[in-house]
Amino acid sequence: MSNAAPELPPRIADSRRTPRERVVLPGMVIYGEGAFSINCRIKDLSEAGARIILSGNGVALPARIVFLEVKSRLVHDARIVRAATPEFGVQFTSTHPLDGELPPHLDYLKRIR
Summary mean pLDDT of the chain: 86
Residue-wise pLDDT tens digits, 49-62: 999 999 877 788 99
Burial class from Cβ neighbours inside 10 Å (0-12, 13-18, 19+) for residue 11 reads exposed
Residue 30 CA to residue 17 CA, distance in Å, equals 25
Residue 49 CA to residue 57 CA, distance in Å, equals 22
Residue 8 CA to residue 113 CA, distance in Å, equals 51
Domains recognised in the chain with CATH numbers: 21-112 (2.40.10.220)
pLDDT of 36 above 50: yes
pLDDT, average across residues 99-106: 93
Residue-wise pLDDT tens digits, 63-87: 999 999 999 999 999 999 999 889 9
| Whole-structure pTM value | 0.79
